[in-house]
Amino acid sequence: MSKILVFGHQNPDSDALGSSIAYAYLKRELGVDAEAVALGTPNEETTFALNYFGVEAPRVVESAKAEGADQVILTDHNEFQQSISDIRDVEVVEVIDHHRVSNFETANPLYMRLEPVGSASSIVYRLYKENGVAIPKEMAGLLLSGLISDTLLLKSPTTHATDPAVAADLAEIAGVNLEEYGLALLKAGTNLATKSAEELIDIDAKSFELNGNQVRVAQVNTVDINEVLERQAEIEAAMTAAIQANGYSDFVLMITDILNSNSEILALGANMDKVEAAFNFKLENNHAFLAGAVSRKKQVVPQLTESFNA
């Protein structure tokens, strides 16, 4: 029996890395030869969390087969285009996720644990409890970071009624103050000044197949939307280049104000009518304000899906 690789999605964020590292640890405690790997290097926010809790970033892999693995466990994603390059050549034996299901299939029955909660880390927390395994301090810290990151410190509408209690328990195990640590973690991810436009649109970007269109939806966190819009020209150039290089039909960028919980949408591509219809707004100079929107998963992708399918 070869090693089972455990990983989150491409462009890993704090929840992808936290859930995969902590779930691989749990599987090993349960006697399974599991290793957490990553489909990319950690972003600045996640690097802050890894450094804070003294955990090394998982090694980056490009192919499961090249690692000698026949079986994989996915955390924080299920859509194949967000997964490892050779996902169709290996067996997915487990999925721990909190997203919609799409472009996912298996030949065999599997263990699949999806819950509509704030983070995949919330589910991994529950699986420790169900299996009676104590959560080590540093694993609690990474799971907490995943939950804080995905819910913008429990403020996003994706926050589940059960998540605050999970966060409180994890903060206690991790030995941090939830609010203080949470704000420090989120702020670590808003340092966009050092990023090129190409890097910026790829910090947290996912592709979605919407009615035959490949739509790229990226998100950046900031404490000042205008600071990002000042770079609109170079960001648009990077978006256009990404569209052409990857065959995207559209590129939708959420510029999210983490302090006031709003987003500016900057969008380019072939289906701007559908993007406008999705949010019932009018793009001016390619962008528009989306009040109260902070969640790609709940406040952007479902609306785009419906509009593209209309």
Binding positions are 9, 13, 15, 76, 98, 150
Q: DSSP states of 68-106 as a string?
A: T-SEEEEES---GGGS-TTGGGSEEEEEEE-S---S---
H helix or E strand, kind and range, residue 179 = helix 178-188
CB 84, min distance to a copy of itself, A = 17
Per-residue mark of binding to a copy of itself, 144-163 (x: CB under 8 A): --------------x-----
Q: Looking at the DSSP assignment, which residues form a beta bridge with residue 207?
A: 216
* One residue of 57, 112, 241, 283 binding a copy of itself per CB under 8 A: 112
- Give yes or no for residue 104 binding a copy of itself (CB under 8 A): yes
* One residue of 44, 70, 86, 115 binding a copy of itself per CB under 8 A: 115
CB 104, min distance to a copy of itself, A = 6
Q: What are phi and psi of 276, to 5 degrees?
A: -65, -40
- Give yes or no for residue 297 binding a copy of itself (CB under 8 A): yes
H helix or E strand, kind and range, residue 29 = helix 14-29
- Give yes or no for residue 27 binding a copy of itself (CB under 8 A): no
- Asked if residue 122 lies in contact with residue 147, where contact means CB atoms within 8 angstroms, the answer is yes
Compute, in degrees rounded to 10, the torsion defined by CA atoms 275, 276, 280, 281.
Answer: 130
CB 48, min distance to a copy of itself, A = 27
- Show binding-site residues for Mn(2+): 9, 13, 15, 76, 98, 150
Size of the site for a copy of itself (CB under 8 A): 26
DSSP secondary structure letter of residue 58: P
* One residue of 32, 80, 81, 100 binding a copy of itself per CB under 8 A: 100
Which residues, 250 to 279, sit near a copy of itself by CB under 8 A?
none
The three-class DSSP label of residue 166 is helix
Residue 34 or 55 with smaller CB distance to a copy of itself: 34
Q: DSSP states of 212-258 as a string?
A: TEEEEEEEEEES-HHHHHTTHHHHHHHHHHHHHHHT-SEEEEEEEET
Give the binding site for a copy of itself (CB under 8 A).
98-116, 130, 158, 297-298, 302, 305-306
